[in-house]
Structure 1
Amino acid sequence: MAGPISSGAGASATYNPGTRYGPALALLASLFFMWGFITVINNTLLPHLRSVFDLSYTQTTLIESVWFIAYFFASIPSAKLIERVGYQKSMVIGLLIMAAGALGMTLAASIPSYGVTLVMLFVIASGITLLQVAANPYVAVVGKPETASSRLNLVQAMNSAGTMLAPMFGAYLILGRSKGGTAQGDVVLTQAERLADAQSVVLPYVLVAIVLVVLAVVIARFPLPAMGAATQRHNKEERKKYSLWNHRNLVFGIPAIFIYLIAEIGVANLFVNFVSQPQIANLTHEQAGNYLTFLWGGMMVGRFAGSAIMQKFDAGHVLAAFSVGAFLVMLVTVFTTGPVAMWSLILVGLFHSIMFPTIFTLGIKGLGPLTEEGSGLLIMAIAGGALVVVQGWLADIYGLQTSFLLTAACELYVLFYALWGCKVTNALPDQQIAD
């Protein structure tokens, strides 16, 4: 028999006021924490690999590009896997894929091999992609539809908690235990020193793999609330009646995610090298890695604050205000030096904080039974982080500080999306009838 399915603010599951969603959200927040933690380890891993393999900025950022290319290739297969086995099993599989990649990083360090490192980072990122495709829309629908943006910002704050702690973890266990990480400025290592430095990534990734396996076991045994019938494959005939491309908020939301990721990843990955420069803060890479904690800490604070603010103010208006703030501090970063330039770059984390979760929830708003496919496309757009290699190329040609003008330009597109692009068109009704 056909039954009512509430799609709400882009959701396609039934909201039941009598269901307690708190425990499920708390557990899902741990997933957001872990993938944020693992992603930001890259921020300390990249300057480490730059020393070990003697890489240019372009080659260094290419490593991160491989990470984000995984989002492009893994998003659609992830959506299809979710349709086949469900959200909960997909989350478990994603965690186990990440654990396998983390263990593979220990192999890459033992050789050491630049190529194997790229492959294993791709594997880890593919696991994270599966988690993203499953967990983001799940959080958006387990609760009141009108507070979807606020709720996703709240659990994304736990993602930021992971990103805040990861630089300290990486600075201590990777940079702090290597010759290249403790030297003042860039240093050219001997072959023996490179081999020794490469081994410093073994312990961190073994610890990460253990935590991921434990979390997979917990998720597998936890009674997560079931998603509504509109997310199931038997609804595909109904989905054929509608087109994703009739929804302006999704059409402009996909490039908004893509372009925002260029900004976020460029700032995070080049932060250590930027503040280490003599005209900025003149720090060692290990010391700069500790300051990276403040960048990600600002994102955590911003997401908690944004979650509260969006309980009272329109999400699009809040996104517009934050994008203006991000644009202004990036101009300060480019055109000043010393501590002012360093702290302005740190401050952009606060303004970046709400961008991804808010763009995501605005992008799937009103999609009804198309939410699953729309979510997959938005997660695929995270591949925009791969274009951080463009900023690496700009840094090599025009200088690292000047390359942050690219970041400032990205903030302007987010402003456009907040003011006009996110407006919902052809919204599907909240009540959809399933076959």
Structure 2
Amino acid sequence: MNRTPYDWIFLMAFSLVLIVSGCGEGEKKEEKTPYFKADDDQGGLNLAPGMKAYVVAENIGRGRHIAVNDNGDIYLNLREPHDNGGIVAMRDTDGDGRADEIEYFSDFGGTGLAFYKGHLYATNDSTVFRFSFSDDKLIPDNASAPDTVVSGFTSQTQHAAKSITFDEQGHLYVNVGAPSNACQEQDRTRESPGMDPCPILERHGGVWRFDAERLGQTQQKDGHRFSTGIRNAVALGYNPNDGHVYAVQHGRDMLDGFWPELYDENENAEIPAEELFKLTDGADFGWPYCYYDPLQDKRVMSPEYGGDRETVGRCEGTEQPVMTFPAHWGPNDILFYTGDHFPEEYKNAALVVFHGSWNRAPLEQKGYFVAHVPFENGSPKGSYDPLAEGFAGVETIESPSDAQHRPTGIAQAPDGTVVISDSVSGKIWRVFYEGE
């Protein structure tokens, strides 16, 4: 068919309309992205340059670790079960980035929470459970009867939280904290000597490895003690960049109270360091025989085992930390950032959540923030800087009860933003990058 000049003009005009319409649709989709609309007060936080934040949900229960599904649904393990359940499920149904559908399930609370191969793994103080989903459901199909992956952890009144992580070879790692401060014959008693060898290390004070997918395992029958000499490492995470699991230890307490001839209260506030460990099979990090003195920048023998603040002794052969942090900051989670949303300096960096101290008196309490630790070639590069501060809501923290919020867990969302949980009232923040 022969076309007139008018026909060609019409076709060109029609095509231009389609192009413009397409651009308009693209702009509308961009406007629907919720992560570029921060709260006016950034959710009460002070953030690194270029970072913004908003509150996803609040007052949902005293939160511990947090996890995000591939579809963006957020899950939070609660310290104690809520009236309606021990795990909170959150979904954004209207595209504003906030959770407008919030439901509870499970009859237990705990700490550990992580997705692995589409399943949600959750822990209480004695068991690792697994929840399964189908048809994009918010609540798992087996919410009332989850699979038992690992059981048989002993009942303990100290450091009972079971944090978890997974590697890329099909292994599950579980922190088993020591139910003791320093393995004394009489725990937390002035000048009581340490048990030698420390029997607690047989089933506690380290990280155990299991099959990530096999059900019905127990610690004694199926667990492999992967790394030992770790007092308690609630912060446990896998670094895919170098293929290692990392842990941040809660250091020991009360050096001045139990050994007043060697330490005063100001020294107790600054000793020992919180240590970042790169775990390897068979590694021993020294607890309870040793602690890391940041004032001397070395690991020395504990007073319970004859230490005099100077002697290295039996600590000589222990595995050293790859980085240390100030005393008693309470590291409770660690995430290795793999997304593309944050600036390049965050790629493969560790984000460490400090829950905050309780025993730095007479000095003020510290921690209560999320640190950014740059990594290069599988090792920390330089020092750390804050990603997010201001959770406590007060300038001076004399006691943990002064803090309005305490950061506890962190997880990366599929879009590269991160979500952070709170253990006081259950507040959830999303942190995103907007640019300076």
* TM-score when normalising by structure 1: 0.26
RCO comparison, higher one (Cα < 8 Å, 6+)? 1
Task: Flag the structure with larger Rg.
Answer: 2
TM-score (norm 2): 0.26
- Compare the two structures and name the one with the higher strand fraction: 2
Q: Which of the pair is proportionally richer in helix? A: 1
